[in-house]
């Protein structure tokens, strides 16, 4: 970002970026956000998590901006009241579930208010419940009623190559009817075509009356590249793949080594100080 262009908003991914591998929001990360606020720079978060799964960030970070859950599938105020949501077409949601199961991944379904799983003992269910701080609802199958209100379908597997292959297959098969991107190496998120992190940038730009050129984005996964392409500057985490790093304008350290806080200091606040000097 050029030094004569103001930075007005930092938009951050959550898992792999803002929090550590153990999902801890460090004191350094909290202090970095406070410094952003003190410098007059807004801070916002976006994630594949449901909005309820980001509630624990709102008070520690004193969030005042809309929160973009489900990769932009649902925008909520800091009190979790819904501003805007995008649900999948029911036929597309059903096709996504079928495709994921046919590829031998487990499938989860999220509505605005519920997280639905078929097996509470399947891989990552317990870990996800601990992360988002609420339990899944166990169902025998995903019915038409569920699929009529689906915000996100997730494919889950510890076979990371299979998840990557399923991502490509979902993109080819679902086309423009859905956005299909990995939010973690073991998660494939299928959402409404307007529910992606590129659209999150556009939506927050309008909500906050902030040009995309004055927004900096930071993330670690392929789905974060969509917001990298829309913002004036972008930062990849040190734990990102080389492919993701190549799409960013800067690279910080990993989320295990205070990469977020260091990025705020080096690539955001330092530029603001230089510009004021």
pLDDT, tens only, 261-271: 999 999 999 88
Q: Are 202 and 212 in contact (CB under 8 A)?
A: yes
pLDDT tens-digit map of 16-63? 999 999 999 999 999 999 999 999 999 999 999 999 999 999 999 999
pLDDT confidence band for 3 (50 / 70 / 90):
very low
The two tokens of residue 113 are: 């208010």
Q: What are phi and psi of 161, to 5 degrees?
A: -65, -40
Q: What is the CATH number assigned to the segment(s) 90-191?
A: 3.30.1240.10
Q: What is the CATH number assigned to the segment(s) 9-85+196-276?
A: 3.40.50.1000
Q: Are 152 and 47 in contact (CB under 8 A)?
A: no
**In whole angstroms, what is the distance from residue 100 CA to residue 137 CA?**
19
pLDDT tens-digit map of 227-257? 999 999 999 999 999 999 999 999 999 999 9
Q: What are phi and psi of 254, to 5 degrees?
A: -75, 165
Average pLDDT over every residue of 5-11: 91
pLDDT tens-digit map of 133-190? 999 999 999 999 999 999 999 999 999 999 999 999 999 999 999 999 998 899 999 9
DSSP H or E run through 258 = none
Q: Kindly tell me if the per-residue pLDDT of 4 is higher than 50.
A: no
**In whole angstroms, what is the distance from residue 49 CA to residue 53 CA?**
6
Angle at 28 between CA 70 and CA 23, to 5 degrees: 40
**In whole angstroms, what is the distance from residue 109 CA to residue 118 CA?**
9
pLDDT of residue 113: 84
Instruction: Provide the percentage of residues in the chain whose pLDDT is more than 70.
Output: 96
pLDDT of residue 2: 43
pTM attached to this predicted model: 0.87
Domain boundaries of the chain, sorted by first residue = 9-85+196-276, 90-191
Angle at 227 between CA 255 and CA 178, to 5 degrees: 110
């Amino acid at each position: 970002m050029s030094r004569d262009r103001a930075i007005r908003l930092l938009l951050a991914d959550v898992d792999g970026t803002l929090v550590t591998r153990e999902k801890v929001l460090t004191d350094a990360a909290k202090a970095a956000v406070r410094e952003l606020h003190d410098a007059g720079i807004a801070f916002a978060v976006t994630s594949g998590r449901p909005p309820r799964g980001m509630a624990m960030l709102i008070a520690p970070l004193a969030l005042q901006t809309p929160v973009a859950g489900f990769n932009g599938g649902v925008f909520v105020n800091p009190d979790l009241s819904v501003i805007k949501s995008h649900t999948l077409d029911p036929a597309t949601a059903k096709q996504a579930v079928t495709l994921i199961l046919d590829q031998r991944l487990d499938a989860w379904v999220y509505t605005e208010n519920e997280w639905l799983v078929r097996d509470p003992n399947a891989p990552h269910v317990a870990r996800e419940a601990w992360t988002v701080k609420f339990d899944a609802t166990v169902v025998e199958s995903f019915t038409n009623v569920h699929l009529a209100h689906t915000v996100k379908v997730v494919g889950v597997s510890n076979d990371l190559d299979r998840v990557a292959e399923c991502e490509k297959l979902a993109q080819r098969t679902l086309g423009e009817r859905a956005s299909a991107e990995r939010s973690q190496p073991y998660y494939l998120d299928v959402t409404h075509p307007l529910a992606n992190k590129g659209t999150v940038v556009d939506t927050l730009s309008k909500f906050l009356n902030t040009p995309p050129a004055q927004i900096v984005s930071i993330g670690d996964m392929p789905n974060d590249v969509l917001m990298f392409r829309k913002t004036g500057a972008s930062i990849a985490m040190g734990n990102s793949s080389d492919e993701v790093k190549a799409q960013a304008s800067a690279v910080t350290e990993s989320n295990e080594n205070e990469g977020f806080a260091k990025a705020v200091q080096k690539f955001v606040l330092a530029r603001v100080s230089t510009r004021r000097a």
